[in-house]
Amino acid sequence: MIDETTIAAANEAADATLRADYDALGEHLSRRGIDIAAIKDRVAAYGVAIPSWGVGTGGTRFARFPGEGEPANVFDKLDDCGVIHQLTGATPRVSLHIPWDDADPADLLAKAEETGLAFDAMNSNTFQDQPGQAHSYKYGSLSHTDAATRAQAVEHNLYCIELGQKIGSKALTIWVGDGSNFPGQSHFTKQFERYLGSAKEVYAGLPADWRLFTEHKMFEPAFYSTVVQDWGTNYMIAKELGAQAHCLVDLGHHAPNVNIEMIVARLIQFGKLGGFHFNDSKYGDDDLDTAAIDPYRLFLVFNELVDSEGTPDFDPAHMLDQSHNVTDPIESLMNSAMEVQRAYAQALLVDRSALAGHQEENDALMASETLKAAFRTDVTPILQMARRESGAAIDPVSAYRRSGYRAAVAQTRPKADGSGGGIV
């Protein structure tokens, strides 16, 4: 972890500037009828989960260029996640991926306590073969034509639940790579029937206080068809399985320009929004840093979420899911967590009664301007003050760079192998 006195000293040096900026923004917001302290408190209470795989350097199908001091195991990953939370105060939970992160639950809990973290949704992996595995997932897992392969995939998901129960997780996320690469290769209906049959077996093993998230993805690794390809299919799965099943929306898993915020609104309306994997994309599932390309879209998603706050049983899970190929993953994840917080804060500033009035009057221009007024507001001092008051860093990236953490772990962690593809 980072030395607390280093963070405190940096915060002290930046304190006067922050207070001046915060007061100026507070005055501006008060003219708009908004109490800055109330916004700050809600931002401070907000958290987004970190995926354990996000702290390793990612890659593409072509190559992976490992960074210095990459985590070698789940305990190193938890150390890195602990630093991210320490500096941002915004990432209190970690989502594990099994079997990549499989370990003794007592050791996982001890490390979580040491790093100040808790565990978010469990992620099962049936999209690649593991050493010693009896049946291959080359042609699918939960939807495989072979019953024994499907049973193996179901069994793995049940194991993820079992492990998750021991470490305080309350959800299982299933994403499968199942699909086809050639027209005619798979019978769409029979394949989806097999998927549903397997998913029902997993659902039957779900504890009463757990949720099951299914995640859609339009393409990759299968390029012609994917079994759970879009939110419509995802919704059908959640409906078929039952009340504990919900749809997970990964922002990158849609065709370019798809109106994701509208999908979010639809899923909320019918009680099936499970949560998010935040990232950004330009062309496809690029897994770029959250808000790196289209911060307005992220804001519009949060606009829907804030609009629905207070709806009974509305508790979507929030997580980042990105691949960091050219940056230090810790820096990217800190920045992305802050971007998610920023979108949330901006969405809290929307004048909802004015917006409702413009919608009723069909005043399209003013409705759009009402959203833009919130989006254009620089809420940085609110985020900084929330961090300052929680003991996190006013400027996390600067504090991280000054700490020398990466160079220090590079001394103790084995050098990572760059061979092979690097999609994570």
Which residues lie near Mn ion (CB under 5 A)?
A: 250, 277, 321
Report which residue's Cβ sits closest to Mn ion: 277
What minimum distance in Å lies between the beta carbon of 260 and Mn ion?
Answer: 13
What minimum distance in Å lies between the beta carbon of 228 and Mn ion?
Answer: 12
Q: What token pair was written down for 4? A: 């607390």
Q: Across-strand partners of 172?
A: 122, 212
Across 344-360, b (16+ Cβ under 10 Å) vs e yields: bbbbbbbbeeebeebee
Q: Are strands 171-174 and 93-95 parallel, antiparallel or unpaired?
A: unpaired
User: Which of residues 321 and 339 has its CB atom nearest to Mn ion in the complex?
Assistant: 321
User: Which of residues 250 and 280 has its CB atom nearest to Mn ion in the complex?
Assistant: 250
- CA 384 to chain CA centroid, Å, is 22
User: Which of residues 101 and 321 has its CB atom nearest to Mn ion in the complex?
Assistant: 321
Distance between CA atoms of residues 74 and 95, nearest Å: 11
What minimum distance in Å lies between the beta carbon of 232 and Mn ion?
Answer: 18
User: Which of residues 277 and 388 has its CB atom nearest to Mn ion in the complex?
Assistant: 277
What minimum distance in Å lies between the beta carbon of 213 and Mn ion?
Answer: 10
What minimum distance in Å lies between the beta carbon of 423 and Mn ion?
Answer: 12
User: Which of residues 171 and 355 has its CB atom nearest to Mn ion in the complex?
Assistant: 171
Q: Where would I find the beta strands (DSSP E) of 104-263?
A: 118-119, 122-124, 171-174, 179-180, 211-215, 225-226, 245-250
* Surface-to-core class of residue 77, CB atoms within 10 Å of its CB (0-12 exposed, 13-18 middle, 19+ buried): buried
What minimum distance in Å lies between the beta carbon of 77 and Mn ion?
Answer: 17
User: Which of residues 316 and 396 has its CB atom nearest to Mn ion in the complex?
Assistant: 316
Residue 375: left if φ>0, alpha if ψ -120 to 50, beta else—which one? alpha
Instruction: Judge if the upstream peptide bond of residue 99 is cis by omega within 30 degrees of 0.
Output: yes
What minimum distance in Å lies between the beta carbon of 162 and Mn ion?
Answer: 23
Distance between CA atoms of residues 92 and 319, nearest Å: 11
User: Which of residues 254 and 277 has its CB atom nearest to Mn ion in the complex?
Assistant: 277
Distance between CA atoms of residues 336 and 290, nearest Å: 5
